[in-house]
A and B are shown apart, each in its own frame.
Chain A
């Protein structure tokens, strides 16, 4: 598993310029349905794009990094997919009762930034600490290498919600859905907790925006900060899709990097009262 991810990472890095451009944008996914009452197997369709807007299309993305987990937390296959000019689309068969998890996790990238010259020009390169050491100028200052990753996730439930796909593993950046994502209700406080390698992430900025920003005056963004336990609480005012985004910057010294950077996006539906 780990090895496979590393190999994929290498392949994507080799992909070069386009990938780094796309990954500068948050990667969101929006399914046609978050909750189903079908008794038989049912196909949902998902939009995926790299964009700074909330559920607005900008750039298509590669779907190699999408993983689908069934209600037993077992891997499932992606259905038909398409990559357009502005978005990617994939279909997904929901065959069983319970909660599925769909996760888009980019391979880890290393980015080294530094300032150089009399005018403190900031420069960046895609390089680990080791790679950068031989490439950056001798007079480079404020050299910082970030191990960066984008994670985008949503949950879709057929029938009653189940919890196997919500179980944290204690590895990397993780969402602990204290409120089940299929149980977020208008007017009721929903709680989400965040950890890195099992440790709570406190004082992290988290923002939540409901669908439809182009069609209203206010963005209706709610800014939250995680508490000492890594938890935020959000009470939706509108029904419909919401995009939660969290940005982690965590000092963590390793051979390859000085800090960890994670951009995390959760798409969820706030259900009617």
Chain B
């Protein structure tokens, strides 16, 4: 709903300029989003968690997966929501975001506002999802709503059993 309303002035101006042939390609660019994921140190458990980071839209439909840190495919399903909504429908497009499991620490990711087909998403409400599942441990899912439009946002989520705080920054559009 929201994403239909928010048409930032800049985009409108851009379209107008385009119509006059002044601007070339339509860079209907969304605000870049920076996501810092913290994997907590857990005493007496050396297993590294499986972690996935992805974006859903306001209808809970997957927009794109930003990262999957795993080892054996057998346990991908333990990232339950990600597996159900994105992982099991992989057509090879997840290769580029897949990597090895990580040690405890802080990891920086970013989302350029593009969906899996490389199209810029419309302004509106989106949900940053971070899910972690660990052998001999638990499963944590963090879902944080963000709004892409023209406002900057800075959000920090509560730490969970398998996830430290997640810091999310919605930046101003590049070049502004």
Contacts and interface: CB of A to CB of B under 8 A. Distances in A.
Q: Does B bind A?
A: yes
Contact of B89 (A42, A160, A185): A160
B75 interface: yes
Question: Secondary structure of the B side of the interface?
Answer: helix
Contacts of B84: 35, 183, 185, 271-272
Given A185-B84, A271-B84, A272-B81, A37 B89 contact: no
Given A42-B74, A160-B88, A160-B89, A37 B81 contact: no
B81 A159 contact: no
Contacts of B111: none
A39 interface: yes
B73 A39 contact: yes
B71 to A, nearest CB: 12
A272 B80 CA distance: 6
A37 B88 contact: yes
Contacts of B81: 272-273
B116 to A, nearest CB: 15
B84 to A, nearest CB: 5
Closest A-B pairs by Cβ, 6 of them: A37-B77, A37-B76, A272-B80, A39-B73, A160-B88, A38-B74
Interface of B: 73-77, 80-81, 83-84, 87-89, 139, 141
Interface string A231-244: 00000000100000
A36 B77 contact: yes
Interface string A33-60: 0011111001000000000000000000
Contacts, number: 35
Question: Secondary structure of the A side of the interface?
Answer: loop
A246 B157 CA distance: 44
Nearest to B139: A272
The number of chain A residues touching the other chain, given as a range, is 10 to 19
B80 A37 contact: no
B11 to A, nearest CB: 34
17 contacts: A35-B77, A35-B83, A35-B84, A36-B74, A37-B74, A37-B75, A37-B76, A37-B77, A37-B83, A37-B88, A38-B74, A159-B88, A160-B88, A161-B88, A271-B80, A273-B81, A273-B141
Interface of A: 35-39, 42, 157, 159-161, 183, 185, 239, 271-273
A185 B74 CA distance: 21
B85 to A, nearest CB: 9
Contacts of B74: 36-38, 42
A273 B84 CA distance: 9
Contact of A37 (B73, B139, B141): B73
A183 B83 CA distance: 11
B40 to A, nearest CB: 21
Nearest to A39: B73
Contacts of B89: 160
A256 to B, nearest CB: 46
A237 B14 CA distance: 48
A33 to B, nearest CB: 8
Nearest to B72: A38
A27 B84 CA distance: 29
A24 B74 CA distance: 39
Contacts of B88: 35, 37, 157, 159-161
A157 B87 CA distance: 13
B80 A38 contact: no
A272 B131 CA distance: 12
A190 to B, nearest CB: 13
Contacts of A160: 88-89
Contacts of B73: 37-39
Contacts of A37: 73-77, 83, 87-88
A239 B81 CA distance: 12
A39 B76 CA distance: 10
A242 to B, nearest CB: 16
A36 B74 CA distance: 7
A238 to B, nearest CB: 14
A42 B72 CA distance: 13
A77 to B, nearest CB: 23
